[in-house]
Amino acid sequence: MRNKIQKFSSGAKWESIVCYSRVIKAGSRVIVTGTTATDENSEVVGKGNAYEQTRFIFKKIEKYLKTAGAELENVIINRIYITDISKWQEVAKAHAEIFSEIKPCTTMVEVKGLVHPDMIVEIETEAFV
């Protein structure tokens, strides 16, 4: 029997412009697409602060995971994209505050830029339920 695929939207305007789902649940796998520190008004939160952006992003990701029946404890990998790798310790601090006991696989790579110049961090997450 084939796994059922469920797609979830956060309602962000970008989802319909770019044509993507915020979260997809395929069987036991839950994938949260790249998430940035933008609030409900599409304003960037924590401008210039990688730590604050990372904390904000993980709060959003936690909410998105719950829509698909997952929790932070179910996270198996975080892929972190950062525009300035010299700020890696700020991102690592925020990651450790949330995942110190969970210890998912994690990748952090520097990228040239994100879709808005005030965005420092973007994170995509996978969980297994």
First to last CA, the chain: 18
The CATH number of the domain holding residue 94 is 3.30.1330.40
Q: What total of structural domains would you count in the chain?
A: 1
More confident residue, 18 or 92: 92
Tokens of 37: 């520190």
The tens digit of pLDDT for each residue in 35-48 reads: 999 998 989 999 99
| Nearest CA-CA partner of 61 in 27, 95, 32, 90 | 32
pTM for this one? 0.93
pLDDT at 21 over 70: yes
Buried b (16+ CB within 10 A) or exposed e, 109-126: eeeeebeeebbbbbbbbb
CA distance 79 to 69: 21
pLDDT of residue 2: 60
User: Pick from 43, 44, 40: which is nearest to 11 by CA?
Assistant: 40
Taking only the tens place, the pLDDT of each residue in 40-87 is 898 999 999 999 999 999 999 999 999 999 999 999 999 999 999 999
Evaluated on CA atoms 112, 38, 29, 6, the torsion sign reads negative
**What per-residue confidence (pLDDT) applies to 1?**
44
Higher pLDDT, 3 or 36: 36
Domain span holding position 98: 5-128
